[in-house]
Amino acid sequence: MATQINKQLGDNVFLTTIDAAASWARANSLWPMPFATACCGIELMSTAASKHDLSRFGSEVMRFTPRQCDLMIVAGRVVMKMIPVLQRIWLQMPEPKWCISMGACACSGGVFDTYAVVQGIDRFLPVDIYIPGCPPRPEQLIKSIMELQDKIKKTGTYNAREFQFRILPDGPKRFDEDELVRIRERNGFKLEEPKYDPIH
């Protein structure tokens, strides 16, 4: 009987950790913030459009407010007047968040080695994925999203600030064994030392 139940359960019940489940959900529902400043933005729009259809990867919901996004795609060159704006948008995005640096200009300044163009946004922002190309093909952007999904699934939210002070898994409060002992003593029962797993 028990083995039969186990067989049925094995097909329908999955055991995982909260981190893994959350990472799986986050990886498949990335909401991009399109920071498109140049021609890479056209490729970004093309990727989201029907032919390449970024929604197959769960990240079609382009939001133009950083408060609702968790993936910033910096597509195009960023000039020195734009860097404070870019940093403010990055700081306004809620945790956990990721950043894709799309195209040669965002990665390294590209051909614009002038006084006004920042030579790579990774000098001032954390970047997860770099996409080369001038501009990159939509396939490259899709590949980078898939790699970012892999990264999110593998690393999870381990480094996110919201979990910085968490040392134990979240959930219901741990059962207070001492209280049980006190209740039983009050009722006249005497038990040996309770055995419990220190983790569970």
The site that binds another protein (CB under 8 A) totals a number of residues, namely 22
Q: Which of 51, 81, 186, 200 binds another protein (CB under 8 A)?
A: 81
How far is CA 67 from each of CA 84, 125, 185, 200, rounded to the nearest angstrom? Answer: 17, 17, 54, 37
32-36 and 98-102 strand pairing: unpaired
Q: How many CB atoms lie within 10 A of CB 3?
A: 7
Binding-residue pattern over the window 115 to 144 for another protein, x denoting contact by CB under 8 A: xxxxx---xxxx------------------
Listed ranges 6-14, 79-87, 137-145, 173-181: which one lies at the site for another protein (CB under 8 A): 79-87
Give first-to-last CA distance, the chain, whole Å. 28
Nearer to another protein, 6 or 87 (CB): 87
The CA R_g of the chain, rounded to the nearest whole Å, is 24
Listed ranges 80-88, 131-139, 141-149, 182-190: which one lies at the site for another protein (CB under 8 A): 80-88
CA torsion angle 152 155 158 162 (round to 10): -10
Nearer to another protein, 80 or 183 (CB): 80
Q: How many CB atoms lie within 10 A of CB 194?
A: 10
How far is CA 87 from each of CA 24, 126, 153, 165, rounded to the nearest angstrom? Answer: 27, 10, 26, 25
Listed ranges 12-20, 42-50, 56-64, 75-83: which one lies at the site for another protein (CB under 8 A): 75-83
Angstrom distance (rounded) from CA 149 to CA 143? 10
Binding-residue pattern over the window 143 to 162 for another protein, x denoting contact by CB under 8 A: ----------------x-x-
Q: Which of 87, 111, 150, 182 binds another protein (CB under 8 A)?
A: 87
CB of 38 to another protein, least distance (A): 16
Residue 16 has φ and ψ, to the nearest 5°, of -155, 180
CB of 112 to another protein, least distance (A): 10
165 binds another protein (CB under 8 A): no
Q: What residues make contact with another protein under the rule CB under 8 A? A: 79-81, 83-84, 87, 90-91, 97, 113-119, 123-126, 159, 161
